[in-house]
Amino acid sequence: MKVQNAIKNKYSFLVLVDLFMMVLLLANLVLIIFDWIYSVDFINRALEAYLPAFQSFYEHYIHVNFQVIDLTFVSIFLAEFFFSWALAIIKHLHHKWFFYPFIHWYDLVGCIPVGSMRFIRVLRVYSIVVRLQNMGVIDLKKTSLYAYYRKYYDIVMEEISDRVIINILVGIQDELKDGGKVMDRIITNVIKPRQQIITEWISNRIQHALIVGVRAKEVEIHEYVQNVVAISLQKSSELKAVSQIPIMGKVIAESIEKSISSIINNAIDTIITDLGSPKNQILMNEVSTVLIDLVQFKEENKKLNALINEVAFEVIEEIKTQVTVKKWMLKDQANKNGDNE
99 CB burial (10 A radius; 0-12, 13-18, 19+): middle
3 CB burial (10 A radius; 0-12, 13-18, 19+): middle
pLDDT value at 84 more than 60: yes
More confident residue, 143 or 46: 46
Mean pLDDT of the chain: 77
335 Cβ partners below 8 Å, 6+ apart? none
Report which DSSP code applies to 101.
H
**Reported confidence tier of residue 74, pLDDT bands at 50, 70, 90:** very high
pLDDT in the model for residue 242: 56
pLDDT in the model for residue 34: 94
> Which run of H or of E encompasses 17?
helix 12-38
Single pTM value for the model: 0.51
pLDDT in the model for residue 37: 93
More confident residue, 326 or 68: 68
pLDDT in the model for residue 297: 47
Highest averaged pLDDT of the listed ranges 106-115, 189-198, 226-235: 106-115
Could you tell me the CA-to-CA distances from 30 to 36, 42, 312 in Å, in that order?
Answer: 10, 20, 58
Task: Write the DSSP assignment of 263-311 as a string of letters.
Answer: HHHHHHHHHHHHHTSGGGHHHHHHHHHHHHHHTS--GGGHHHHHHHHHH
Query: d(Cα 73, Cα 111) in Å, to the nearest integer?
Result: 9
End-to-end CA distance of the chain: 35
pLDDT in the model for residue 67: 92
Could you tell me the CA-to-CA distances from 120 to 35, 126, 156, 308 in Å, in that order?
Answer: 17, 10, 23, 54
pLDDT value at 12 more than 70: yes
pLDDT in the model for residue 6: 46
pLDDT in the model for residue 83: 93
Q: Per-domain residue ranges for the chain?
A: 2-142, 183-296
Per-residue model confidence as pLDDT tens digits over 106-149: 898 999 988 788 889 998 998 888 888 888 788 888 888 888 88
pLDDT in the model for residue 32: 93
pLDDT value at 79 more than 80: yes
Per-residue model confidence as pLDDT tens digits over 282-337: 655 666 666 666 555 454 456 666 766 777 778 888 888 877 777 777 777 777 77
Could you tell me the CA-to-CA distances from 94 to 87, 135, 191, 197 in Å, in that order?
Answer: 11, 19, 43, 44
pLDDT value at 7 more than 70: no
Mean pLDDT of 225-235: 71
pLDDT in the model for residue 278: 58
pLDDT value at 70 more than 90: yes
Per-residue model confidence as pLDDT tens digits over 260-277: 777 777 777 776 666 555
What is the CB neighbour count within 10 angstroms for residue 269?
Answer: 15
pLDDT in the model for residue 277: 58
Q: Which of 106-115, 179-188, 200-209, 297-306 has the lowest mean pLDDT?
A: 297-306
Question: Is the separation of the CB atoms in 29 and 40 below 8 Å?
Answer: no
164 Cβ partners below 8 Å, 6+ apart? none
pLDDT value at 2 more than 60: no
Write the single-letter amino acid at 263. Answer: I
